């Protein structure tokens, strides 16, 4: 046997021994155990809810650190408010829709749980305005107002606002773009086109079917018209405080506040200090449509004291706020006055008809379903078709808070309008904002 053959035999024996030893070692070594907690979702505290509702998710494998636990409702990330290894609490995100609740911890795979059904609710948002006093055009929060008071929506969905302290009328498109169509920021009573015209504390505003706007020019004691080309004219009033009927400038008013147009193009004005509702025909003839039985006294059943806001329904019935009578009243097309809601005693009380109470009812709007919305102190009240009165949005303490309607905040809102889709728009006067309340 050669030396080479001997060495080869030794080497082969050596390597076989190593391979055998290695194989035996691998066979005897136990498989590693994965001790990572398994993520599961076992239950939800509720299978349906509205925006911002708090939902508890039970399961396993969560982390006691809200920054590491991610919760999603139908793919929309939620805010996690508390966490433990077996329980998470999260707030339902806006417009979540219907779908599965899922959880993800750190970089682990997302785990699905039960289906959650999102329920729509009324949500308040800021539609236009920065909140600061000013007189700037722009889109959304880039625009500024100074005490927006009246608000109306025309048949195309465009919003118009009387900007009281700026002595101007502003236009807001569906995408929130604000422009000034008349007035120049200086008080006056000049007719003219666009910025050449002036107003003095313009209040109520309404739009007819042909593109004209009508304004109750409160401090001027005038009724003004803006046509589709932004030409401003005076259609009624002397400009001097008074109470005379007649055609055009032969008539006089004393602090006109609310104004509305009916289906035939007739105007009705809440003539506040005169304690009357005035009617203006299409040829600008002014007459007294309805008045208090005893001036200065509200008998709570027929008369009224300081009517301020006025609205009209699809049947041309008029509704108005009796400011210091603390009621909402109705005037039929034949002029009969009746109480819709309110006891006549001051106080924010929910209830039906005369069991309800108002604190300071200012303006109102009627939607397509016959519901009435009233700006009342810092809140929006709702009167349904059965005369049930509830708080629709806002809190008594006020503020400028967006979100769920009953948790939202307004600051002395005045003007209010409803669009064809049932959305409510509010001139939030004290906050210098235009707010939107929508079902989301």
| Model confidence pLDDT, tens digit, residues 160-183 | 999 999 999 999 999 999 999 999
Structural contact between residues 91 and 79, judged by C-beta atoms closer than 8 angstroms = yes
Say what the pLDDT of residue 5 is.
43
pLDDT at 11 over 90: no
| CATH T-level topology, domain 40-118 | Immunoglobulin-like (2.60.40)
| CATH T-level topology, domain 122-292+300-439 | Neuraminidase (2.120.10)
Alpha helices in 317-397 (DSSP H): none
> Which of 259, 255, 165, 272 lies closest to 219, judged by CA?
255
Structural contact between residues 228 and 333, judged by C-beta atoms closer than 8 angstroms = no
Structural contact between residues 168 and 183, judged by C-beta atoms closer than 8 angstroms = yes
| Cα dihedral sign, 105-106-111-115 | positive
User: Cα(64)–Cα(87) distance, rounded to whole angstroms?
Assistant: 9
Structural contact between residues 168 and 179, judged by C-beta atoms closer than 8 angstroms = no
Say what the pLDDT of residue 337 is.
87
Question: Average of pLDDT values for 373-395?
Answer: 97
Say what the pLDDT of residue 231 is.
98
At residue 299 the predicted structure's pLDDT band, cuts being 50, 70 and 90, is low
Q: Which helix (H) or strand (E) holds 373?
A: strand 372-376
At residue 16 the predicted structure's pLDDT band, cuts being 50, 70 and 90, is very low
Contacts of 428-431 with CB under 8 Å at 24 or more apart are 428/129, 428/148, 428/400, 429/147, 429/148, 429/149, 429/164, 430/147, 430/398, 431/129, 431/131, 431/400
Question: Average of pLDDT values for 96-109?
Answer: 95
Q: How far is CA 414 from CA 60, 380, 431, in A?
A: 52, 10, 11
**Among 164-168, 225-229, 295-299, the least confident range:** 295-299
Say what the pLDDT of residue 334 is.
78
Give the residue extent of every domain in the chain. 40-118, 122-292+300-439
Say what the pLDDT of residue 73 is.
98
> Which of 193, 204, 200, 190 lies closest to 167, judged by CA?
200
Structural contact between residues 217 and 207, judged by C-beta atoms closer than 8 angstroms = no
Question: Average of pLDDT values for 22-35?
Answer: 51
Say what the pLDDT of residue 71 is.
98
Question: Average of pLDDT values for 118-125?
Answer: 98
Site of tokens 């006067």: 429
User: Cα(153)–Cα(176) distance, rounded to whole angstroms?
Assistant: 13
Cβ of 320: how many Cβ atoms within 10 Å? 28
Cβ of 273: how many Cβ atoms within 10 Å? 15
Question: Average of pLDDT values for 268-274?
Answer: 96
Say what the pLDDT of residue 419 is.
97
Tell me the pTM: 0.88
Say what the pLDDT of residue 14 is.
41
| Model confidence pLDDT, tens digit, residues 341-382 | 999 999 999 999 999 999 999 999 999 999 999 999 999 999
Give the residue, 89 or 107, on which the prediction is more confident: 89
Say what the pLDDT of residue 34 is.
52
At residue 298 the predicted structure's pLDDT band, cuts being 50, 70 and 90, is low
User: Cα(228)–Cα(51) distance, rounded to whole angstroms?
Assistant: 40
> Which of 300, 323, 203, 325 lies closest to 258, judged by CA?
203
Question: Average of pLDDT values for 93-106?
Answer: 96
**Facing residues of 104 across strands?**
70
Side-chain half-sphere of 41: how many Cα atoms within 13 Å? 25
Question: Average of pLDDT values for 129-137?
Answer: 98
Say what the pLDDT of residue 152 is.
98
How, if at all, do strands 433-439 and 122-128 pair? antiparallel
At residue 2 the predicted structure's pLDDT band, cuts being 50, 70 and 90, is very low
pLDDT at 18 over 60: no
| Model confidence pLDDT, tens digit, residues 303-315 | 678 999 999 999 9
Percentage with pLDDT > 90 across the chain: 85
Side-chain half-sphere of 170: how many Cα atoms within 13 Å? 36
Give the residue, 420 or 25, on which the prediction is more confident: 420
Say what the pLDDT of residue 301 is.
54
- Arithmetic mean of pLDDT over the chain: 91
400, two tokens: 């400028």
């Amino acid at each position: 046997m050669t030396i080479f053959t001997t060495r080869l035999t030794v080497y082969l024996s050596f390597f076989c021994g190593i391979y055998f030893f290695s194989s035996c070692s691998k066979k005897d070594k136990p498989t590693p155990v994965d001790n990572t907690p398994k993520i599961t979702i076992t239950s939800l505290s509720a299978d349906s809810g509205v925006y911002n509702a708090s939902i508890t998710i039970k399961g396993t494998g969560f982390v006691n650190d809200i920054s590491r636990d991610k919760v999603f409702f139908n793919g929309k990330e939620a805010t996690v408010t508390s966490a433990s290894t077996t329980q998470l609490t999260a707030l339902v995100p806006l417009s979540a829709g219907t779908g599965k609740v899922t959880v993800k911890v750190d970089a682990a795979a997302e785990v699905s749980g039960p289906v959650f059904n999102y329920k729509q609710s009324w949500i308040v948002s800021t539609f236009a305005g920065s909140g600061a006093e000013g007189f700037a055009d722009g889109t959304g929060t880039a625009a500024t107002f100074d005490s927006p008071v009246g608000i109306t929506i025309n048949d195309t969905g465009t919003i118009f606002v009387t900007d009281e302290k700026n002595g101007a009328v502003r236009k807001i498109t569906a995408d929130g773009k604000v422009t000034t169509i008349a007035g120049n920021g200086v008080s006056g009573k000049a007719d003219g086109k666009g910025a050449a015209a002036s107003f003095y504390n313009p209040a109520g505003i309404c739009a007819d079917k042909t593109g004209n706007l009508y304004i109750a020019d409160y401090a001027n004691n005038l009724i003004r018209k803006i046509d589709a080309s932004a030409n401003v004219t005076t259609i009624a009033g002397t400009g001097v405080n008074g109470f005379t009927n007649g055609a055009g400038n032969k008539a006089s008013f004393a602090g006109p506040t609310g104004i509305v147009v009916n289906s035939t193009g007739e105007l009705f004005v809440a003539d506040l200090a005169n304690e009357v509702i005035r009617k203006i025909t299409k040829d600008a003839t002014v007459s007294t449509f309805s008045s208090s039985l005893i001036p200065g006294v509200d008998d709570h059943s027929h008369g009224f004291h300081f009517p301020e806001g006025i609205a009209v329904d699809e049947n041309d019935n008029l509704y108005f706020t009796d400011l210091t009578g603390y009621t909402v009243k109705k005037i039929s097309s034949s002029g009969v006055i009746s109480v819709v809601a309110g006891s006549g005693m001051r106080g924010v009380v929910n209830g039906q008809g005369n069991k309800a109470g108002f604190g300071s009812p200012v303006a109102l709007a009627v939607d397509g379903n016959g519901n009435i919305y009233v700006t009342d102190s810092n809140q929006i009240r709702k009167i349904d078709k059965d005369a049930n009165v509830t708080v629709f949005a806002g809190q008594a303490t006020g503020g400028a808070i967006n979100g769920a309607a009953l948790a939202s905040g307004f600051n002395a809102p005045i003007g209010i309008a409803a669009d064809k889709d049932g959305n409510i728009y509010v001139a939030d006067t004290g906050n210098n904002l235009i707010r939107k309340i929508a079902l989301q």
